[in-house]
Structure 1
Amino acid sequence: MELTVVGDFPLSEGSKRLASETVPTADHPSKRLRQSSETPQLMTEATLSQGVDEVEHRQAGPPAWSNSRQQIGDTIEWFHCMQGGAAHNGLKCTGVLLDADNGERSLMSDEVIITRTGGDCTGAGQTLSLKQNQSPKGIIIRSIMASLRAKKPVGVIVGVRNELLKVKIPHRYCVMDWFLITNVWMEKMGKYAGFRFRLEKLDLSTKGWWAEQGPNEELPLAPRNLNRPPPTRECSVCGKPSIQVYIRPGWMCLEPSCRKFWKIGNKEPKEFEYHPDFLNYRHPRGPDIPNSGPLVNVVDRNLEPPEGVADREEWRGIVCPECRKCIQRVTWDAWDCTDDALREPEETCCYRVVRRIREIPLQSILKGVRPYTRRQLQASIQPVIDKRSLEPYELRTYEIPNGGSITHFVSNPTINERADGPNHLFSELQRLDLGLKRYPLGSAQGENEKEGGGAESHPRHLPVSSKRKSSKRKSCKKSTCRVKGTLTCHFAVNYGVPYKYVVSVESRAFSDAPVPILTALGRLSWATEKAVTGAGGQYQAPNELLALGYFEQMSIGFHDDGEKGLGPTIATLSLGTRSRMHIRMKDKYYFGISKSHVATSDDPVLPGCINEKERRSLKKSFDKGQITAEDFAAQRVAMLRRPGSRHSPKLLSLELKHGDLVVMHGAALQKYYEHAVEPDNGLRFALTARYIETNSDMDRIKGSFKLQDNQIYDGQ
């Protein structure tokens, strides 16, 4: 593996000082350099040589903290990452999380951090180990190297499972400070070679809240020799320079392509002690260090107007100005420090911001919408189009192979503008307090459970999960990590029989439902009956309705609605911004094996699956008893390959406009296929009705309803 090892990248000298984020401080009696107690400043080479007595300042606590990873990832500008230990934006590392395993020989002190890069590991918790040599082409190391070269400060977060600090970490995740990446190199970690890097606290004028107090704390700056860089030597074999990281065993070549890499003589070292100059050297701070802005934005949102619009800013997290906790937008109309499923008993803060959503005129959403391209609306299934049977609707019916049918009721202005029609419903849903709320995710259903599983309900990505068009706040869209405390990427309220899907949502009785919900239920009941009877099925009235609300840039990843006890028919009414609904075969049926290369036990060999002909022939032999179940599974595993990041292709993409209805009919459709909904930017409501079997008399009462005459829909 060829790599030019990056050793020490000294930062340009200069006297310009950058202001750091102001955080709570407390006086500390030890001696320090002379500086303003009101304006903390960075240390330049000149100030490092000044030795005067002055009271030093120590941060009293973390500038921001959280009880869950999503809380901090949804709030802190430079750490939008739900998986892994490094966040990046524009191919530059912006933040680092240090929690649980940091790798052997890792170190954290008041001002210096030495740790390893993530990726290519196996195991869990504190026992991660490399499973292969790390590549310099990986996105993590490339982003770290880019920030090193650009001298870009990175934020650091520490988790309570980190055992390197000698002080108690007060919360599950705590923001530390801005750091500079000063060195990146490779070492052997067990059998394989991996990357390690050194970070240095940017602002040396203030002690961090994590700094050790007492006789073991670091000396004031002046008595330390901070300006002697560690030695660097050229390898006699490869001719490339390597910095001396360890005083014991001594200098080693850190070029992984060299035969002398990580060797003293001809042996790999076993004992290590860092070189004092490698730990103690502090790079001069100069004007070429880019200003990354505030470490944490703390604003009292109660001082702002009491109304907002349903854009991305309205569902970002905020830092509580009273306790510094990262607060997520859990309810439709408020940020509330107490509204946290992971809230600890010792938390007493009751900060709350009521922020109502200003009503958005429908025309502002629909105006200037460009048609989707052919590529955006790909389809391998052509619909049967019927413009007469249910006029003024246009019906488009798609027959899904071995699955069932999808009926798309295409609306139009004539339908939407009628009394109690979609336009009226969209306006009323904005005015009412429906009790919409984001709920913690549980465990989903099916093979794709980490991507979601419920009626337009479970995001593949998180609040972090959402579509982000802003270059400043990129989401980890491919992250499928389900972290404790993670909230759905939509707001929800349920009426009728409880719908127990991936999140636990409190259900309200239809007798308590507002008029617009029952009006929508009338339309959904009509569409369900027409689609089911048109397909030759028997109509069953819905007894549950799930109302979902989406702010701008919220979207839903692939999922199914195949809950146990759920009827074979699901109907959805779309209100507000336009969206695309994608249908695809579930990966385990398309590939025939799971991600862990286990053969799918109930594989029906659906039309269009990969290796369809060979799989069908093999299944025929098994069904005839010509091969055993073990041989059947083994031959399929040997035949099939499944790339880790690849998914089955989209079978169908529908354009859902304001007022459209979609009915999915057939239990096999939810078993073998999954769907996703990707709205345009703008406010959207989705109301989904279905029938759910229940043995509870109380649930039956909740699910019973009687529509008024004007709520019974006639298709006009």
Structure 2
Amino acid sequence: MPPRAAISRRKVAERPVRAGRVTKSKKEQTIIKLSPEKLEAALIGQPLEQVYGTPPAWAEGRQQLCDAIPWFRCTQGAMYHSEGFCYGFLIDADCGTRTHIDDEVIITRIGGCCTKDSEGNLTLEKNQDSDNALVQSITGTQTSKLAVGLVIGSKNKILNRDLPHRYNIMDWFRVTNVWFEKIGHKHGVKVRFEKLNLPEKSWWAAKESPLPLPLEERDLQTKPEVLKCHHCSTESVKIYREGWMCLDPGCIDFWKIDGITPPAELTFHPDFLNFRSPPDPAVQPCYSLVPDLLSTLDETATDVSTSRIAWKGIVCPMCFKCIRRTFWKGWKCDDDSILEEEYRERCPFQKFMNMHPVPLRVVLDHFELAPIKRAILFDRKYSIPEIDDNSLFPYRKLTYNLNGVGSITHFVSNRMINSRKNGPDDLFINLQRDDLGLKRFRLQQSLVAGTLTSHFAVNYGMPYKYVVSVDSKGFDEAPKDILRALGRLSWATEKAVMSPGDKYLPPNELLMLGYFEEMKIGYHDDGESSLGPSIATFSLGAKATMFVRMKYKYFNGSTRRADPKAIGTILQNDPVLKDCMFEGERRALKKNFDAGEISQGEYDASRRALSKGRKGKEAPITIKMELHHGDLVVMHGENLQKYYEHSVVPENKLRFALTARFVKPDHVDAREIKKGEFSLTPDQVYDGK
């Protein structure tokens, strides 16, 4: 079968390397450690070999790969293992010493227990033992005859082929051998993978290489020599040409040839490289190499489009790229490229689901959708609010006061409020019907480049940047239901702010977030200098739990050690908040320092002494609130966002959160100010009923 066409990224020719480690300099240039006999060949500067075909699926980003390929959900590391089995393996930059890659066999280390040395090389930090989770997974896979999917990355220098993409799906492989080796001063695990489909020529084979031999013409009987150790009676395969070694790390003869430490440069024995396993129908993969998610989604089902599986990635049926679901309604191939500008061709594939509105009965477990009056049991492990059942009836008003910091007001809804015309019940359905333009965005800061938010977002009114940059639409583009929600948020903000007598700043921005099953937003704050002191949120759909806690640095009195902006990790200005770590001692020290009784140096030294030998920890949860359909929450006080952070964890069902803020006009481009202007019709103005 001729290789099919695919959108390809060409790379600059690189020098061939058959073994060694990849290391990075401070300038992120690739440097290869070569043995002397290979150095001369490497300096010739031969171009990379062209590959025979194209991968069955590919990705330019790690997140795209993991989202679309179920057998490789590993955003970091090389080996994806789960529940005692290895399902997928990545062959990329640093495969370690004594690595081999050809058209049918791959020999590499399993990773884990490693750190990077000063040159950027991965080195074993501790021994890999048989009770290690990765070791157990790879041996469990071998014993269970489970096939492993392999992916090769373009940073791999051992194959010496011009790989078309950053991550390229290879094929299914069987695990034929797992053994221990001496790696530096530690012992680690190596594995030999053998391609399952031997008769078919590998797409990563050299373009002009001959076709593989048919199975009937292969020697499938000859195996590498196996000898028994006379010390421990363990049988070990003869792996290296230089001699046989016991491969049991518990044996006194481990990693020795005739009692002598082997040379640093070892070559694989031809019998070990060249043997091939006879066909075994029991060796099968758990998944398809390239899954077809779309064929399994029934678009006529009410809630399938918002289920957990529906926001995973797919493999584009046109160009075979792994793409994530960035849009509320589905997938668009050319919208999820890491390096879009490098492609001359843009794939036109897109798939948008028939998004049938999910009824409240699907997401709410309450017998009557909402109670007449919601009963709330307050756990004394957390802050207890002031309860007001009268002033804003039919709402229950719960106020959490954080002295000197701010307040959080929870307006608890009920059946009377939710069921009224244009109320929360109607809004939940109508917002699903409206074309809002909800989308997932890339996080500005994340451990893995290109990570998307675990929610969909759209912004109306003044531009607002939270953990991502979201394009803002003017309120003149907003559907009437968005403005109805804005009316409720404006009412709640005014009632929460006017109670303590503060100035009310009407919201001029609204951010709407949509959550599918198993989506959530982690701890964060809304403390941007461009924002006013009040933030109001309106909950629709499934229940969610909101957690509020003190920020790490204010709880511990010091920043995380990984923070490059830290000055000795001790806070320069320590507010000493209530219930922070060492509150009494820190408060006394601050009092002495403010009174001039101790110097800055003495103050800092005393605070360091408090935490000496103690590892910092996250603050305990201060406030825990259950947010139900129709509830409103207003956080008020600039210091609240400065000193505290919050997270929201919805139930595994559809939920919307609409949050309104006041964005200071002097922080916005003059051309954007008009977006925040709006006027509500009488039926959009809310009166609390």
Asked if these proteins are the same fold (TM beyond 0.5), I'd say: yes
3-state SS, counterpart of residue 177 of structure 1? strand
The structural deviation recorded for 1:658 is 0.5
3-state SS, counterpart of residue 711 of structure 1? coil
Residue matched to 1:89:
82
- In the alignment, does 2:138 pair up with 1:144? yes
The structural deviation recorded for 1:145 is 2.7
CA–CA separation in structure 2 for the residues paired with 1:292 and 1:661:
46
CA gap of 1:671–1:105, structure 2 versus 1, over 3 A, is farther
CA gap of 1:354–1:187, structure 2 versus 1, over 3 A, is same
Instruction: Give the residue type in structure 1 aligned to 2:317.
Output: P
Choose the corresponding residue for 1:61, options 54, 60, 82. 54
Instruction: Give the residue type in structure 1 aligned to 2:81.
Output: H
CA–CA separation in structure 2 for the residues paired with 1:603 and 1:147:
53
The structural deviation recorded for 1:348 is 3.4
CA gap of 1:326–1:376, structure 2 versus 1, over 3 A, is farther
- In the alignment, does 2:297 pair up with 1:327? no
CA gap of 1:24–1:531, structure 2 versus 1, over 3 A, is farther
CA–CA separation in structure 1 for the residues paired with 2:574 and 2:266:
54
Instruction: Give the residue type in structure 2 aligned to 1:700.
Output: I
Choose the corresponding residue for 2:336, options 330, 333, 340. 340
- In the alignment, does 2:457 pair up with 1:499? no
Residue matched to 1:572:
537
Residue matched to 1:409:
411
List per-residue Cα deviations over 1:55-84 (Å, max 9, x = no partner). xxx984211112211212111121222222
The structural deviation recorded for 1:632 is 4.7
Choose the corresponding residue for 2:171, options 168, 177, 181. 177
Residue matched to 1:561:
526
List per-residue Cα deviations over 1:494-540 (Å, max 9, x = no partner). 11111122211111111221111111111111111111222343221
Residue matched to 1:240:
234
CA gap of 1:238–1:569, structure 2 versus 1, over 3 A, is farther
CA–CA separation in structure 1 for the residues paired with 2:405 and 2:100:
56
CA–CA separation in structure 1 for the residues paired with 2:378 and 2:521:
16
3-state SS, counterpart of residue 519 of structure 1? helix
Choose the corresponding residue for 1:421, options 414, 420, 423. 423
More displaced stretch, 620-629 vs 434-443: 620-629
Counterparts of 1:95-244 in structure 2 under 5 Å? 95-123=88-116, 127-214=121-208, 225-244=219-238
3-state SS, counterpart of residue 274 of structure 1? coil
Residue matched to 2:439:
437
List per-residue Cα deviations over 1:430-486 (Å, max 9, x = no partner). 11101111112212xxxxxx4xxxxxxxxxxxxxxxxxxxxxxxxxxxxxx3x2222
- In the alignment, does 2:496 pair up with 1:531? yes
What do you get for the CA RMSD once the two structures are aligned? 3.2
CA–CA separation in structure 1 for the residues paired with 2:129 and 2:377:
34
Q: Is the 8 A contact 1:377 1:654 kept in 2?
A: no
Residue matched to 1:521:
486
List per-residue Cα deviations over 1:142-196 (Å, max 9, x = no partner). 3223222222111111121122223211112111111122222232333433222
CA gap of 1:150–1:400, structure 2 versus 1, over 3 A, is farther
More displaced stretch, 159-168 vs 566-575: 159-168
Residue matched to 2:609:
635
3-state SS, counterpart of residue 428 of structure 2? helix
CA–CA separation in structure 1 for the residues paired with 2:664 and 2:262:
65
CA–CA separation in structure 1 for the residues paired with 2:392 and 2:96:
65
Residue matched to 1:358:
356
Counterparts of 1:13-32 in structure 2 under 5 Å? none
CA–CA separation in structure 1 for the residues paired with 2:526 and 2:135:
39
CA–CA separation in structure 2 for the residues paired with 1:169 and 1:347:
18
The structural deviation recorded for 1:268 is 5.5
List per-residue Cα deviations over 1:203-260 (Å, max 9, x = no partner). 2121221123445886665665443333333444444343332222x22333334444
3-state SS, counterpart of residue 247 of structure 1? coil
Residue matched to 1:457:
none
| Alignment TM-score, normalising by the size of structure 2 | 0.82
What are the ranges of 5 or more consecutive residues in structure 2 without an aligned counterpart?
Answer: 5-50
Counterparts of 1:237-386 in structure 2 under 5 Å? 237-248=231-242, 250-264=243-257, 265-267=259-261, 269-298=263-292, 305=299, 309-342=305-338, 343=340, 344-367=342-365, 379-386=381-388
| Alignment TM-score, normalising by the size of structure 1 | 0.80
Instruction: Give the residue type in structure 2 aligned to 1:631.
Output: A
Q: Is the 8 A contact 1:599 1:637 kept in 2?
A: no
CA gap of 1:239–1:303, structure 2 versus 1, over 3 A, is closer
Residue matched to 2:569:
599
CA gap of 1:243–1:303, structure 2 versus 1, over 3 A, is closer
Q: Is the 8 A contact 1:593 1:640 kept in 2?
A: no
The structural deviation recorded for 1:637 is 5.3
3-state SS, counterpart of residue 706 of structure 1? coil
Instruction: Give the residue type in structure 1 aligned to 2:605.
Output: D
3-state SS, counterpart of residue 183 of structure 1? strand
Question: What percentage of residue pairs aligned between the two structures are identical?
Answer: 47
Residue matched to 1:547:
512
Q: Is the 8 A contact 2:52 2:206 kept in 1?
A: no
Counterparts of 1:451-462 in structure 2 under 5 Å? none
More displaced stretch, 611-620 vs 539-548: 611-620
Choose the corresponding residue for 1:655, options 607, 626, 651. 626
CA gap of 1:303–1:395, structure 2 versus 1, over 3 A, is closer
Choose the corresponding residue for 1:672, options 626, 643, 648. 643
The structural deviation recorded for 1:383 is 1.5
Residue matched to 1:682:
653
CA–CA separation in structure 1 for the residues paired with 2:217 and 2:161:
24
Instruction: Give the residue type in structure 2 aligned to 1:578.
Output: K
Q: Is the 8 A contact 2:146 2:283 kept in 1?
A: yes
Instruction: Give the residue type in structure 2 aligned to 1:328.
Output: R
The structural deviation recorded for 1:584 is 2.3
List per-residue Cα deviations over 1:390-443 (Å, max 9, x = no partner). 110001122246642221110001001112211121111111101111112212
Residue matched to 2:67:
74
3-state SS, counterpart of residue 709 of structure 1? coil
CA–CA separation in structure 2 for the residues paired with 1:613 and 1:340:
52
CA gap of 1:148–1:584, structure 2 versus 1, over 3 A, is farther
3-state SS, counterpart of residue 356 of structure 1? coil
